[in-house]
Amino acid sequence: MSSLTLASATPEPVRLPSMARLRGRWRQIGTVAAVVLLILLTLFGPMIGPYGPEEVDISQRLQPPSSAHIMGTDPLGRDLFSRVLAGARVSLPAVVVIVVSAVAVGVVLGAVAGYMGGIVDDIVMRMTDIFLAFPALVLALAIAGALGPALTTAMLAVSVVWWPWYARLTRGQVIARKQELYVEAARAAGCTDRVILQRHVLPNSWTPIVVQGTLDMGAALITTASLGYIGMGAQPPSAEWGAMLSQARDYFLNAGWLTFCPGLAIFLTVLIFTAAGELLREKTSR
């Protein structure tokens, strides 16, 4: 039998996935599952809680975690587990609104500046420089203080200080895309600038913006919670996580669960947002 026949008769070895590939696959599954769980808790959290988030029972005030109250109770006897679940419905939609609003404003201004260039670009970029000259939290605190303490004003304040980042990112993407051949072809075909920007430039610029927006959700949550903690965000009796931390600071030494549980909710949520953003970035960079 010839060597060619022997070679063709030899079965190919079975290639098993490497450990790195397996770890990556399990990380993807875990990240998607965590995001789905977070969405479900946001939608149905108050239904899962064993008590009403505003249900007061002074006889049960400052009870440590137990079988009756998994995360203990607060100074008014309210079940902390129920309040943390209810807080997801307050904090997470606020974060989504903040990021979507900042992206909408930043994308419009950045796209116009990058595509038009000239004096329009200079005006928009100098506006972004003014906003970026101040620390985001300090500027948001000033805006929230001027408008009055409330969750809606905190959301507006964070959105106002967040849009310049997306304006700069979008501007860079548009400047790179408007030099492509398909844009020149659309221009030669008689398409207007608005059509070229909407149908050809922006659709090919969305990927890094979406990735950055996902990564920024964790930072937006921390900023909103920070405003709530110092009294410039959601106000009592709201179950917003930052406001819950603010109400618990006087009991830090005697009832540590009051700060640990909302803080853990913030930590895990930021971790999920960051993992989702990193996963999106890996998928889009391939």
Give the pLDDT confidence of 114-166 residue by residue, as tens digits. 888 889 889 999 999 988 888 888 888 888 888 888 888 989 999 988 899 99
For residue 26, being part of any structural domain is answered with no
**Tally of domains in the chain:** 1
For residue 84, being part of any structural domain is answered with no
Q: Find the domain containing 139 and state its range.
A: 90-243+250-286
Share of the chain above pLDDT 90, in %: 24
For residue 234, being part of any structural domain is answered with yes
Distance between start and end Cα atoms, the chain: 46
Backbone angles phi, psi at 277, to 5 degrees: -65, -40
- 203-258: pLDDT as tens digits: 888 888 888 898 889 999 999 999 988 888 888 888 889 989 988 888 888 888 89
For residue 171, being part of any structural domain is answered with yes
Higher-confidence residue of 284 and 1: namely: 284
In this prediction, residue 265 has a pLDDT band, given cuts at 50, 70 and 90, of very high
For residue 268, being part of any structural domain is answered with yes
Beta-bridged to residue 79, according to DSSP, are 73
For residue 85, being part of any structural domain is answered with no
197: its two tokens: 């920007």
**Mean of pLDDT values over 271-275:** 91
For residue 58, being part of any structural domain is answered with no
